[in-house]
Each structure stands twice: as structure tokens, then as C-alpha cells.
Structure 1
Amino acid sequence: MKILIIITRFAKGAYTYDKNSTEKNYTYMVPLGLPYISAFLKKNGYDVTILNLNHLEGKVQDLIRDELSKNQYNIIFTGGVSIYFPDLRDYVQYIREDSPDSKIVIGGGIISAQPEIMYSLLKPDFIVIGEGELTALELMQCIEKNGDPSKVDGIGYTENGNLVLTKPRKPIIDLDALPYPDLEGMGFDEFLDHTLPTFIVYDTVDFPRPYPLLASRSCPFACTFCFHTIGNKYRQRSIKSIIDEIKYAVRKYKVNIIHLEDELFAYDKERALEFCKQVKEFTDTVPYKIYFNLSLRVDCADEQILDALKSIGCTLIGLGLESFSLTVLNSMKKHTSPEQIERILQMIAEKGLAGQGSFIFGDPAETFETATETLDFYNNHQDIIRGGITLGFVVPFQGSPLYKYCVEKGIIKDEIEFIEKRSQEGYPFFEPMNLTRMSDSEFEKLKDRVFTAAFTTGYFSIPISSESVNGVNEIQIRCPYCNQVSVLKNINYPKRFEFQQIGCRHCNGKFRMVTPYYPAMRFIFKILGFNRINSLKKTFDRIRNVGSNERKIGIT
């Protein structure tokens, strides 16, 4: 049995789907779901190949066709989150055309959120709902023996023209028993060799070699905007298992950044402190500096935790902020408060660290007054926000309670139409849906205020110098927080009105590296506001497109 796993080509920046794109892409957060499944299947004796489309140049259709022409695969696995619906839809079509005998299996958040709808739209042979390792193995064994798929928990398939969903799969409790994800199979060395300090989580070093590590699975909380692909049963790996993987990653890949993809670090304080102790014991033996990035809730940290994190080289801490209004936080079921948010940001700043997170507007409980509470805090506390906090609007992702609310209230009138529209237009982050009780005109004013603040608030700095030294670009820039000069390598000078979010190498504050054009643009943006600037841009784009089309047909 030969198995192919396809990792989708991830989007750069805000998601838009372009089936004709031919570019390689190394600017992505490494997915762990499919590599974990690959490792588990390999451990159980199966022949698995991973096709990582991000590392290949050419149209996706041609790349898949080329791989299928070289090898005959019995089973093809793929999947992802909901925004990659158009990619997965096309992958199914390409596989059907070029390898009609292959069984197609799709999993991930896109399936777990809407199994019936996505099965009908994507039309694979099987879908995997929830956690995938045991399900993938049992499904493989079932197909191999021509067995009864109804005996495999956590899948969907067609029988007599009808979709059959088997009983849900119980969560894997012993996470230590799972093998490390098959990053080697997806070309991890190539990824590391091409990773630049352009992600805010990677800008601590000039030549980042980040390693993604899953220390736990799921989350026991139920925030309304969030969807847990594998349910709400929170499970943690043992500290020994995590430390062993860190040692493995450092020795095998020479990584210098460990990115803990753990939503609730410090949920268990004693465990977090013991983890930091054991990490430090190991990293002190490594001949180079290793940095850590991780996330925690604002109600699960104190000075002792932050001191421990700083001692192991943690410079950036992801935070679940969402709003500075208690009304909105309660509506989101965050179980946190504005006072906790301010306190954790203040402590992080005092420790010379930086927080990362977002304030997201537009919850159903949002009003102009609640939004003003958040905007006022954001505008007046840049000294403790330290550049790592972004502004945006809440998105009703499929499967979340917020999405279900939109369906129940008729905000989303037709789910299939909604999915198809997003597949054609991408995720319109600058055209958010009005989920509030505000009128559309009031909501437009709020959108203007939020995005204007996003573009015009925060610290920035113009580089002192930029030159190539031994073929590597080198930039000197003064930090607007501590006034110290940092020398940044392997990063390009921004173009005209563009900017690059970077971190100070002395105080860890985040700020925008900009060109001399930027202050004027920012001033104009502040005067005109986002909505007028956006309207002008749309007008210019229409004129440009008309002119382009006229030239194509010979009118001009």
C-alpha cells in the first residue's frame, strides 16, 4: 500500500486563492497534523510520501500530475482548515483525472467543522473527523483488508449513495506514545535553510531555524470565535517527552527557536516552572543561544512565570486578548478581564519582553462604546503594548459558536453559497461582516476607526543604514523604545510605503521598520481615514484594470 500525503501550498499574507500561482513559498507556519499522521503510519509499517507543494515551483495541477505519473498511490491524504476549501476542491479534481483508482481521504478543521457540507462539496472517498493518527491507521487497515468502514471510528463515507458518519473517535490520552511528526518527510531542512526573520515570531535572530513543538492538544475553554478541531478534551504531554523532543530537534536540525504551539502554557503553574527548569538545564549545555516563543492566557501568568520564561530565552509571548471591554469579553466567554490584560502587558514590558496578540472588534455584543474602550486602551498604552498587538475584526470561522450564531440569525443565509463566495473572493479581512446590532453606517464608522488606528498607531523607525556585507544585507536601526541601535542581517530594506515589523535586539520591543516615505503616508492616512483611502484604492484599481483590458483588446 503506497500512501501520498499532500500539504497544501499556503498563502502569503491575507488568503486569496490563485490556482495559477507557480511560486515556492517558505513563509509559513509548519503544519503538524499531516506530518504526525505520516509518522504514525510509517511507524506502523506503511510506505508514505509527502508532497509539500510549498517547496516546489510550478502550478499545483502540474506538480500533482507529475507526482501521480511517477508513482501509483493507493491512498492519498490531504486536508487543512476551512480557508483552503478551493485548494482541496481542486486537488480532488486533479487526482480524479490523473489517478482515478486512488482513494482520497480529507481531514483537518475543514472537515471537523462541517463534515456533511464539506463531504458533499469536496467529494472525497473518506473524511476524517477529529484527531487523525489512529483513525488513519485503522482506515488503512480496513481498506487493505477490504473490511467494513463502519467499524472505523471518526470517519465519513458513502454507502448506497448516502453519507455515513461513524461514531466519534475518543481522544488520544497518551500523547507521549505518538512518534515525533515527520518533518523530515515534508522537507524540513529545506524549510529551515530558507526561513527569513520576517515573521514576528522569528525576528529574534538573523538566521532563524524554528522548530514547531506541540506540548499539548486542545483547550478546555469555549471562546465563541474559536473552533477546536479535536474537541475540548485538554491533554498534555509529559515534561520528559517534550524535553526529549527539544533535544532531538536541536541535535538533528540545529534549531535556534522553539515555537511551542501550546494554547495554555502556564495553565498548570508548577508544571510550567518545572518545564523551564529542565529546559534551562539542557540549553545551558548548547553552544549557541536558543530562544522560545509560546502562548498563555492573561489569567495564567505572574512574575514568577515570566521570570522563568525570560531565563530560558523566551522573548515573545502570545496572549489571548480579544477586547478591552468586559462586556465583549463576557460575550466571547473569555473568562478574563481588562484588568488582567493590562496587568500582564505591564509585567511583560517591565521584564523586557513583548506580547503578541490581537484586539478583534465586531462581536455581537460590540457597540461604539465598547469598541472605544478597546481603542482608547490601544492608542494610549503603546508603551506596554510594545508593537506586538494587532487590530482587526472577528471572523466567523466554520465550526465556531460564532459561525453557528450567524447561521441561526440569518446573517449567513446559505452556508454553501457563503463557502463558495469565500472560495472565489478569499477572506475579506478589510471587509468584515456586521455581526453587531449597529446599523451598517455605524459599523462602517467603526471599521474606519479600527483600521485607521491599525495603520497609524504604534512606534516606527527609519533605518540608519542598509548595505550588503559579504552578500548578506545588513541594516542598522535605532529602537524607538530604548534608543539602542540594532544590527539586523538577512532582512531587506522595505519598499517605499511598505514596512516590516521587527524586534529590537536589546529590549525586545516590536516596531515598524519603514522608509522615509512612511511618515507622510501615515499622516495622510490619519487625515483621510481608512475608508476614504480604501475607496480611492478601489477606484484606481478599477481604472487600472479597465485600461489594462482595453490595451489587451486593442482599444488603446
Structure 2
Amino acid sequence: MKILLLEHPRSICPERCNDIANTPLSSSLLTGYSAAMLRGEGHEVEIVEGYLDGLSYKEIEQRLSAMEPDILGVHMVYHWKSDVELFGFLEKVKREGFSRYITVYGFYPTFAFAEILQRYLAIDSVIIGEPELTFAELAGALSWGACLADIPGLALRDRSGNISYLRRKPVEDLDHLPFPVRTEAMFRLPEVNLQGSRGCYGGCTFCYINPFYGHGSRWRGRSPENIVAELDRIMLERGRKEFYFVDPNFFGPGQEGQKRALRLASLLKTRNIRFGIEARVNDIHEETISALVEAGLRHILIGLESGTDHSLRRLNKMTTVTQNERALRILRQHGIEPNVGFIMFEPDSTLENVRANFEFLQRNHLLKSLPVTANLLYHHQIILRGTPFYQKLEREGRLQTTSFSSYEGINIFDHAKVADLAYIMRRITNFLFNRMEGIWSGKVAEPGDTREKYAKINYLLVNTFETVLKALEAGEQFPEELKDLLVRKAENEIDEILTYTAS
């Protein structure tokens, strides 16, 4: 069969420019793995990079018209709005016969499949969880005119409009999967995305990684030898030396996870590469980090999430503040300043929690770099369907959702003073992110006096946060007009700093 896989166009919402949970980075290879599996089954497959290539729907329509695919598969990414343009395009595809069958896959449709199938009749099915095996079975069944109802991992409408599905078990041995197909657009990224594992052995309340893979899912790792075989092929064919492991949890659990990482480090050591990873703080150990740095590790994201043990327990991180600080210390000893995941504002946060978080960040020298400071002083907890916290709010009758979808819960703070501070910092930092988008995305060169300007804005953010926090702790009130005044004042100061050119 002829199959077109679409990474659909999407835009950045100015008010949510730094919200990071649109879809996990690991989803960047969902289309590539699906394409590889389908090609292995003998199907003709084309990937259209609507997002990375900046294509319009008119241009995508032309690609569809030229190929006339039997199946259009869409990696559907939620991006903070009702995507009228995407769903309207899919209706046109079906109405005008560009493709007779449309299926969608990804994190968003896995959790919102019922809503999608009920609202958008142009979509024939939703692939739930890992797409490769389900997509291959779907294509085979459509080729032979077989029944689709018994395909595990496929959600369908029956003739009465009812939706049914069977959950597919996660792939046990990832070494049996073909290496993913990568497009030219993906090779234009600064680093080549590589997946060494799937799932996580943790159970954080805000995370939907394991629910995506299914009930009882767990961390599964490729063998170091299999990973290196893919990496060697990329180096041979493309000459690339920079890689990023998109695994939500690079390390497997316990001692076996450390052994596997050491084995992989020993294989990578002779290849003269640079790479990045993401990890839990309890997996940061001296021996393993030393070996990985020697093998080319240059950057890492660790999920600190909070500066209090109470909040870490509430988030079910299964880590402690002591482990957070130990991980920072080990990484810095090896020359790595980590990127950090952090939730400054939870729905249940008190001012005491926020104060402890702020002091933790200061104590551990995490408010020195402007992009990092702006990120850490603003992030609230994002509540998406599939996460344990979403389900908790639903059980307690506290869940509120957006007007266009039940996929996202609205962050309602229990404490009004926390809400005031979160509002002020979110407005200011979003203004900064949008103001700096050209520079921080690499589209615009940094001016010569960048360091001085960044230092001034960094001080402004930290000082604003602490000043407002102290006022709230002292019992001061922040009506809407005062909050808006503070925000406009900070925005004007940022503009002045960025406009000024040092002589």
C-alpha cells in the first residue's frame, strides 16, 4: 500500500511559548519507527515534515495529490488550542478523496481518542500507544480487506458510533524493532535524536510517559550493542557526531541500569562523539557519570522538580532534596551544568513551598543564567489527560478543563497568593521568551553586549520574584490593576535593557 505519514504544521502560542509538555521529546521518532516498520512490510511510505519544513496545508495537499496514498497517518501533536486548520484539512482530504483512510497516532490522540473519534468523522481510527506494530497490522488488514476490529492498539467507531479498542502490550525487546527512518529535515537539527529506551521505572504524578505505553508498562532498554550499531550507521552515512538520547529516563533501574550505562559508555568511548541525555537524579552516580563524560556526554536534563521533600512526595518523585543536591554536585564536578526540570507552582502549593523552592534554587546556584532563571521562576504544573494527577483531580471533583478539549486540565491554585505570584511571573517571563525568540532560537545573532544585558534582566527577574513573594508573605494584597502595573513595569524595563546598546 501507499502510505503518507504527516508531521502536521503547528504554531507557537505566545502565551505558552515555554510550556514544555506539548509532547515528550521521545515522540519525535514515532513517525520514523512507524515508517521503518511499514517499509519492512513492503509498503511504499513517504514522510512529509509539515512542521520542520514549514509547509502550508496547500503544499501538503499537493504532496497528497501527487502520491494518492491509500492511508494518511498523522502524528497528531496537541499545541494548546483547537486546531481548526488541521481538522478542517483532514475533512477536506476525506471529502475530496486525497486518501480513503485516515488514522492518527501520538501522545495526544492516545489519551483523547474518544473525543477525537466522536468529533471528527473524517478520522477513521486512532492508534493508541506505540504505533509501529499496530500500524503494520492496520496496513496489512486494509490491503486484504480484513476486519479491523480485532487489531490490538486500534480505536474505532462501530456502525452505531460506539468506540471500541483493545490495548496492545508494549514491545518487549526493542532490539527487534528496525532503526527509525530519519528525514532530511531531522538531520538538519543540531543533534541527531536517538532512542535507547522506552518508558520509566518511576511514577511521577505529572507524567504521562508510562500511561502512554499502557497499564503495567515499565522501563525497557535497547542493548548497548544495538544502540551503537544504529549510531555507527548514522556516522557512516551522514558523518554526524552530535546525538541526543530522547529517552525520558536514560538509565534503567538499579544496579543493572548502571551496568548497562557503563557498558554503553565503554562502546561509545572510541567513537569521538558528543551526546546528551535525560535522567532521574537518583541515577546520577560518580562512576557512571565519569565514564559517560569520558565517552562524550556534554549535557543532561535532570528532573529536580522541587526544593522540598514534602512536594517531592506529593509529586511521587521517589527522590529527595538531598539526592537533588548530590546530583548537581556530581555533574558540576565533571564539568556539566545541567538543564533542570522544575515545577515552581503546583496547584496545591503554599507560599511556604514557593519560598523553599526559591531558596533551594538560590542555594544551589541555579538562578545565574537568564534562560534558566526565566524558566525556573515561572513554570507551573501542566495537567494533561493520562497523568495520575489529572485522574486525582477528576476523582476529587476538582478538575476543570479547557473549552475546546477535556485533554488539558486548567491549573487552579488552592492558595490565592500563590496564584498572584504565578500570574505575575508567567506574564513577565512569557514576554521575555517572546522578545528573545529570535536570539534564543538561533535565528538572530546575539549582540556584542549580551552578557551585560542578560545579567541585568536576570537580576530583574530574581528581584521581582523575591520582592513580590516577601510582600505576599507580609500580607499585602495584589488586586488585578496592581499585578498588571507590575507586569508592565517589568516589560518596559526589559525593553529598555534590550534596546540599550553599550558604548
**Does the TM-score normalized on the shorter chain lie above 0.5?**
yes
| In 2: Cα distance, 1:163 partner to 1:118 partner | 13
Deviations for 1:353-385, whole angstroms, at most 9, x for unmatched residues? 121122113324421111211111112321798
SS of residue matched to 1:151: coil
**1:404 and 2:391 equivalent?**
yes
Q: Which residue of structure 1 aligns with residue 488 of structure 2?
A: 536
**1:227 and 2:221 equivalent?**
no
524 and 371 in structure 1: CA distance in 2 versus 1, 3 angstrom threshold: closer
Q: Which residue of structure 2 aligns with residue 328 of structure 1?
A: 311
Q: Which residue of structure 2 aligns with residue 159 of structure 1?
A: 158
Letter in 2 for 1:113: F
| In 1: Cα distance, 2:110 partner to 2:277 partner | 25
437 and 154 in structure 1: CA distance in 2 versus 1, 3 angstrom threshold: same
SS of residue matched to 2:104: strand
Letter in 2 for 1:298: V
Q: Which residue of structure 2 aligns with residue 494 of structure 1?
A: 446
Q: Which residue of structure 2 aligns with residue 112 of structure 1?
A: 110
178 and 362 in structure 1: CA distance in 2 versus 1, 3 angstrom threshold: same
Q: Which residue of structure 1 aligns with residue 259 of structure 2?
A: 270
299 and 539 in structure 1: CA distance in 2 versus 1, 3 angstrom threshold: closer
Q: Which residue of structure 2 aligns with residue 419 of structure 1?
A: 405
Between stretches 73-82 and 132-141, larger displacement belongs to 73-82
Q: Which residue of structure 2 aligns with residue 65 of structure 1?
A: 61
**1:243 and 2:228 equivalent?**
yes
14 and 224 in structure 1: CA distance in 2 versus 1, 3 angstrom threshold: farther
Deviation, 1:492, is: 4.4
Between stretches 82-91 and 41-50, larger displacement belongs to 82-91
Query: Which structure 2 residues correspond to residues 40-439 of structure 1 after superposition, within 5 A?
Result: 40-59=37-56, 61-83=57-79, 86=83, 88-99=86-97, 101-123=99-121, 124-183=123-182, 186-188=183-185, 191-193=186-188, 195=189, 208=190, 210-228=191-209, 229-231=212-214, 232-267=217-252, 268-281=257-270, 283=271, 289-382=272-365, 390-391=375-376, 392-413=379-400, 417-419=403-405, 433-439=410-416
Deviations for 1:22-67, whole angstroms, at most 9, x for unmatched residues? xxxxxx99810011101100011001111111354553x2122211
Higher-strand-fraction structure: 1
CA contact (8 A) 1:276 1:309 kept: yes
| In 2: Cα distance, 1:89 partner to 1:129 partner | 19
Deviation, 1:279, is: 1.1
| In 1: Cα distance, 2:290 partner to 2:44 partner | 46
CA contact (8 A) 1:276 1:308 kept: yes
Q: Which residue of structure 1 aligns with residue 22 of structure 2?
A: none
CA contact (8 A) 2:205 2:389 kept: yes
62 and 83 in structure 1: CA distance in 2 versus 1, 3 angstrom threshold: same
| In 2: Cα distance, 1:71 partner to 1:15 partner | 38
Query: Any unmatched runs of 5+ in structure 2?
Result: 18-24, 433-438, 469-482, 493-503
Letter in 1 for 2:43: Y
| In 2: Cα distance, 1:421 partner to 1:300 partner | 32
Deviations for 1:254-306, whole angstroms, at most 9, x for unmatched residues? 1121111222223311111111011113x1xxxxx420100111111211011
SS of residue matched to 1:76: strand
Deviation, 1:150, is: 1.4
388 and 270 in structure 1: CA distance in 2 versus 1, 3 angstrom threshold: farther
CA contact (8 A) 1:215 1:236 kept: yes
528 and 266 in structure 1: CA distance in 2 versus 1, 3 angstrom threshold: closer
**1:445 and 2:421 equivalent?**
yes
Query: Which structure 2 residues correspond to residues 447-462 of structure 1 after superposition, within 5 A?
Result: 447-448=423-424
Letter in 2 for 1:249: I
| In 2: Cα distance, 1:301 partner to 1:522 partner | 29
Deviation, 1:524, is: 5.5
CA contact (8 A) 2:34 2:180 kept: yes
SS of residue matched to 2:421: helix
| In 2: Cα distance, 1:515 partner to 1:244 partner | 42
| In 2: Cα distance, 1:401 partner to 1:29 partner | 20
Over the matched positions of the two proteins, sequence identity in percent amounts to 22
Deviations for 1:162-206, whole angstroms, at most 9, x for unmatched residues? 2332321111112111111110xx324xx434x4xxxxxxxxxxx
SS of residue matched to 1:419: coil
Deviation, 1:135, is: 0.5
Query: Any unmatched runs of 5+ in structure 1?
Result: 18-27, 196-207, 284-288, 423-431, 457-474, 476-489, 497-512, 541-556
SS of residue matched to 1:299: helix
336 and 14 in structure 1: CA distance in 2 versus 1, 3 angstrom threshold: farther
Deviations for 1:489-541, whole angstroms, at most 9, x for unmatched residues? x8843369xxxxxxxxxxxxxxxx8265555555665666695467438999x
Q: Which residue of structure 2 aligns with residue 509 of structure 1?
A: none
SS of residue matched to 1:161: coil
| In 2: Cα distance, 1:524 partner to 1:413 partner | 34
SS of residue matched to 1:127: strand
| In 1: Cα distance, 2:488 partner to 2:385 partner | 32
| In 2: Cα distance, 1:113 partner to 1:12 partner | 22
| In 1: Cα distance, 2:283 partner to 2:390 partner | 28
187 and 30 in structure 1: CA distance in 2 versus 1, 3 angstrom threshold: farther
Deviation, 1:147, is: 1.2
| In 2: Cα distance, 1:455 partner to 1:296 partner | 30
Deviation, 1:93, is: 2.5
- TM-score, structure 2 as length reference: 0.79
| In 2: Cα distance, 1:57 partner to 1:295 partner | 28
CA contact (8 A) 1:3 1:75 kept: yes
CA contact (8 A) 1:215 1:260 kept: yes
| In 1: Cα distance, 2:389 partner to 2:407 partner | 19
| In 1: Cα distance, 2:282 partner to 2:463 partner | 38
What number of residue pairs does the alignment pair up? 446
SS of residue matched to 1:245: helix
Alignment RMSD (CA, Å): 3.4
Letter in 2 for 1:233: R
Deviations for 1:191-236, whole angstroms, at most 9, x for unmatched residues? 434x4xxxxxxxxxxxx4x111111111132211110221323211
